[in-house]
Amino acid sequence: MEKKDTHYAIKVSNINKVYSNSKKALDDVSLCIPKGSFFALLGANGAGKSTLIGLISGTVKMQEGSISIFSEDVSINTRLSRMKLGIVPQELNMNMFEKVRQVIINQAGFYGLMPSVVSKRADDLLKQLDLWEKRNTQVIKLSGGMKRRLMIARALIHSPDVLILDEPTAGLDVAIRHHMWEYLNKLNKEGLTILLTTHYLEEAEKLCDHVALIRSGKIIRQEIMSVFMKELDHQVIALTLENKIEKLPDLSIKNIKLIDGFKVQVDLSKDQHLSDVISILNRHNIKVVNIEQKVSQLESYFLRNMEGVNL
């Protein structure tokens, strides 16, 4: 009897997927998502992220390769493996005229949960996600942020082991996005494995401890996020100045330019330190009053290494 690998929440092995138009969506993709991790899957539109998620969740038909979820083969134990997943798709796919609480209750019915368990669980989720006051409101009357939170509550009703989030904060304002980040961080710290796809690369940097980069259907990099970030050698920093200047003096600083009278931009390479740049500016009586990371390190990597990127 084959020994099961219990270290990974999701294990994808040698997946190939070709659609009817002969387009190869996935090319020998292998991926290991550790238990308890917050895992980012990053790539441009059309890179293969949605196809891979569809295969993991069982909504896309397998052609070649294998996928296991907590050691259960998706093709063999389809129902059991799906029970372990909670899915939050990118597109809203709820009955817009149904009431909020009923959306969650109805979802629980697909998993055969006892009504007494479902009722308490639904109420707890509504309170945790600040939807309790809207429990008897029709979905169509909710704001965009509330609809997103409802989709997360619906995905969690059966207490899955893995939560899959496909662009969960798309179109949300900064405040709502950060509130959602806090909640997802809390879930992950409680032991929930989370797989995230996002176009907000700052989101991946802030939340995730593992990352995989996919391009043209191929995984080109899989790494612990902290290790990956240490290898990045480029970041763009915007410095706001206390006083307006007409031009920059000779500063002996690589890749620095004046954006306007009150702001300069510097491309920091691996051998440069921001503190050194600020010290040099100070010696020329140029005082910095604000520092802003204009392009994240991860985004910079994409811009330099991902062909056809559409962020």
Bridge-based pairing of strands 38-42 and 263-269 is unpaired
Residue 210, in any domain of the structure: yes
Q: Quick count: other Cβ atoms within 10 Å of Cβ 13?
A: 13
DSSP 8-state class, residue 134: G
Residue 65, in any domain of the structure: yes
Q: And the tokens for 294?
A: 């204009």
Rounded Cα distance, 11 and 33, in Å: 6
pLDDT tops 70 at residue 219? yes
Same domain, 271 and 125: no
Same domain, 85 and 101: yes
Rounded Cα distance, 101 and 139, in Å: 10
Measured CA to CA in angstroms, residue 48 lies from 27, 287, 303 at distances of 9, 46, 18
Same domain, 20 and 105: yes
User: What does the chain come to in residues?
Assistant: 311
Residues 6+ apart with CB under 8 A from 7: 34, 35
Q: Which residue has the higher pLDDT, 198 or 120?
A: 120
User: What pLDDT, in 10s, does the model give residues 130-170?
Assistant: 999 999 999 999 998 899 999 999 999 999 999 999 888 87
Q: What is the dihedral of CA 242, 246, 251, 252, to 10 degrees?
A: 130
Residue 25, in any domain of the structure: yes
Given a contact cutoff of 8 angstroms between Cβ atoms, the answer to whether 86 and 111 are in contact is: no
DSSP 8-state class, residue 246: S
Q: Is 268 helix (H, G, I), strand (E, B) or coil?
A: strand
The mean per-residue pLDDT over the stretch 196-220 comes to 88
Task: Supply the mean pLDDT for the chain.
Answer: 87
- pTM for the full predicted model: 0.78
Residue 110, in any domain of the structure: yes
Q: Is 294 helix (H, G, I), strand (E, B) or coil?
A: strand
- Predicted pLDDT of residue 310: 39
| CA angle at 116 for the pair 113 and 122, rounded to the nearest 5° | 75
Residues 6+ apart with CB under 8 A from 176: 145, 148, 169
Residue 181, in any domain of the structure: yes
Q: What angle, rounded to 10 degrees, do the helices at 144-156 and 174-189 form? A: 10
Residue 3, in any domain of the structure: no
Same domain, 181 and 195: yes
Long-range CB contacts for residues 200-205, cutoff 8 Å, separation at least 24:
200/169, 201/42, 201/296, 201/298, 201/299, 201/302, 201/311, 202/296, 202/298, 202/299, 203/169, 203/177, 204/40, 204/42, 204/298, 205/229, 205/296, 205/297, 205/298
Q: What is the CATH number of the domain that holds 98?
A: 3.40.50.300
Structural domain boundaries, residue 264 = 234-305
Give the burial class of 299: count Cβ atoms within 10 A of its Cβ; 0-12 exposed, 13-18 middle, 19 or more buried: buried
The mean per-residue pLDDT over the stretch 215-230 comes to 88
Same domain, 82 and 190: yes
pLDDT tops 50 at residue 250? yes
Kindly state the percentage of the chain with pLDDT values over 90: 48
For residue 147, the surrounding DSSP H or E stretch is helix 144-156
Last residue of a domain, one of 230, 248, 276: 230
pLDDT tops 70 at residue 309? no
Rounded Cα distance, 44 and 220, in Å: 13
Q: CA 140: distance to chain centroid?
A: 26
User: What pLDDT, in 10s, does the model give residues 4-19?
Assistant: 556 899 999 999 999 8
DSSP 8-state class, residue 127: H
